[in-house]
Amino acid sequence: MVRKGVVKKVLFYSVIGVVAVMSIALALVYTYQDKIIALFVTEANKHIKTKVEVEQISLSLFDKFPHVAVSLDQVNVHEGLPESEESLARADKLYFTFSLLDVLRGKYSVKQFYMEKGEVYVKVLPDGSVNYQVINSDTTSSEEEDFSFDLEKISLSEVAVHYIDQQLQQTYAVDAHELEAALAISPETIDIEASGNTTIHTIKVGTGEYFKGKKVDIATALQINRAEEAVLLQPSVVLIEGAAYEVGGTVSYAGTTTLDLNLEGKNTNIQSLLSLLPQDITQEFRQYRSEGDIYFNGTVKGSMSAKETPLISFSFGARDASFYHPDVKQRVEKINLTGSFTNGEKQNASTSALELKSLSGVLNGRPFKGNLAYRNFDNPNIALDVQGMLDVGYVLGLAKIEQVRSGSGLADVRIAFAGNLNEFKARPGNSTLNTTGDITLHNVSLNMQDLPMPVTNLSGNLMFKRNDVAVSDFKGKLGESDFVVNGMFKNMMAWLLLERQRLLVEADFKSNYLNFNQLLSEELNTAEADRTGSSDSYKFAISPNIAFDLSASIDRLRFRRFRGKNVQGEVKLRNQVLSTPNISFRAVGGDFAVRGTLDARTRDHIKVSTATKLNNMSVDSLFYVFENFHQDFIEERHLRGQLTASIVSDVFFDSQLNPKTNLLQAEIDATVRNGQLINFAPMQKMSAFVKRSELANMRFAELHNSFWIQQRTIYIPEMDIRSNVSAAPVVSISGTHTFDQLMDYKIKLPLFGSRRPDKDAVFGVVAEDPDAGNSSLFLTLKGNEDDFKIAYDDERVRQKVKADLKDEGQELKDLLRGKKPKSKEEKKVELQEGEYFDFN
């Protein structure tokens, strides 16, 4: 019990003592705060020679307890350049601390400095002047002074530091999250020990960008020798995202800055190595990660100024390491390599070189090897060789190529190429890139970003020779369509690697089946974001960068209702103009022969000019295949017969293969043999003169005529038809028929005495031939397919009567002159069942 009482008393008096001390300290701080602040301002004015704006100055015991702190709120320090209003530093809070004992002694020595939530802007201008010379050169404090600055510690918290050297073209942007530096200052030297964590937003040196977005932890010790103007950097450790670098050496700043530094990597990885190189070289690989033994060391030696850069030499390598992308499961394993980087004898981009030697690894259980040399970063020369059986799907998954979603299959790669990239870009066709080797594909499939329809079953050999590629039995499928290509792909490397380069293909092309419904489908050949058409929409475009000379052989092809077989011929493409001197194929029960051009230079104005010969086509099948030519007046069910024709035409389409019928022009010379016209509505209107049963199935042996099409109108010259219709064995027809199904036909029917119209017939007067005893009925058919009328043709009757009177007048004159009239030969026409029309 006694002991417990003693403990309680000790605790009680201790608390009383602490409270008393705190009370005394508070009283002293409160009593002397105006004096201390005044002394601080006086001493600060001695040290700082630029304008400083402060919202409030106060004295605090608790902000940096147990030290007393002079606290400055919302501080703006102007830069040390004449007449400049820009800031050297801004901060929410600045603290200068000293001990409580100083308050009792009346002598104040600032030992520590704190900066919180601020920014520092350091500049070196093109003429070499700087903005940070804001401290008076003579700041020596005498012992009699009541307030002095003897800093032993500097602490930064959430401070952004910006350094711009316009002479050296260098920029640094660093966030100091928590950074502390301990100082030991003597007349000859300043010793600094610093540690903390930062984020480097960027370090730009010239056009190169380094350490972008890297988290860096620092633990360093250095000595500044004032007399020799040199910094001795003790072996210090810099952690960059888990990778440790040991840095040591000297930096001399007497005159031109001279560096002599050694760097060695510890626990390094692919990210730490890539961070040492310019971002424009490594940005495509910055998401990749590595595991295993990756080593690195290097030196930086020489002068650094606006005109000089030190010599930089690094060597690095990997032993049994792995390489992968964090978003995919694929990885390259068992990587071994040795590499080096140097900026060369001139210490600039033109003499810089990066080399990877003896690279080997395993990709999905399959080994590969290769080498890479990249020299002269201003005018790059590259040499690369790769050898191995590569799993295409695995490589694509690892490489994360945006244009290719996925793939499968194997590629046996044995390829090397070397050359100057700028010369290759300037003169790609002059064999500036030396490519050798070959690639053999084994059942490769690819799913492309801009082509939803997959490319499958790719196989064959691709042999590289300089800028060209020879293909042997290169085969595959695009949707349902298949192909086999043998030939030469000229300028292939330039077309693959550069923009707006032309590829010329000279090859034999074979296919068992081409489905143009798929190949031209807008839905199946357009990326999801670009799809605007329906499933029946088409998209037709020819790249201006592709040309070819093909000898084509296609067993079967399909487009909508069209089916073609045994397609043979030559096809040429130049400047978006497709041409052929001879394409032949079988379709619709007969033979086609086509020559012509397809001009796709204007996207929505595709012109197709052809000369076509059709031999022995089935007319009803032809109408069916071409969907009754988008009308329902006369359809495949109305027609039978075999068509032979010659057609010369200009047809125009938009990019979705919709015809521009107002621009269509064509000349057609056609013959139909063994023809039938079945249940054709306009013929049924003739039942007043011809038996309906005969009109239901009109037969003709041969019909021949020439037609032409212009401005959406078909022009039909007059033609005589010899049919099996007993009452009208010879019919003459002429007229026009528009694409809007407006008809204007003139019809001439011979009428025999046994089949005359009644006196009340709606067709009016019949012109009779008094000598032959036969009559001709002149009719017109006008209207559209749903509403047409057959009427008597007054004009042609008047012309006929006028012509007959003229002939009779001439005969009367001949009789009066004593001339005998010419005897009229009777032409007897006998129609047998099954006899056909004849077009003359």
Burial of 377 (0-12, 13-18, 19+ CB in 10 A): buried
Q: Are 458 and 445 in contact (CB under 8 A)?
A: yes
- pTM of the predicted protein model: 0.67
Distance CA 265, CA 271 (A): 12
Check whether 825 has a pLDDT greater than 50: no
3-state secondary structure at position 817: coil
Question: pLDDT grade, residue 567 (50/70/90)?
Answer: very high
Helices (H), 326-483: 392-399, 421-426
Instruction: Return the H-helix or E-strand segment holding 718.
Output: strand 713-722
Question: pLDDT grade, residue 699 (50/70/90)?
Answer: confident
Instruction: Return the H-helix or E-strand segment holding 406.
Output: strand 404-420
Higher pLDDT, 795 or 423: 423
Question: pLDDT grade, residue 828 (50/70/90)?
Answer: very low
Instruction: State the amino acid at position 776 in one-letter form.
Output: S
pLDDT at 569: 95
pLDDT at 498: 83
Question: pLDDT grade, residue 659 (50/70/90)?
Answer: confident
DSSP secondary structure of 661-703? GGG-EEEEEEEEEEEEEES-HHHHGGGGTS-HHHHTEEEEEEE
E strands in 516-561: 546-559
Write out the two tokens for 2.
């006694």
Distance CA 81, CA 284 (A): 42
Check whether 530 has a pLDDT greater than 50: no
How much of the chain exceeds pLDDT 70, in percent? 77
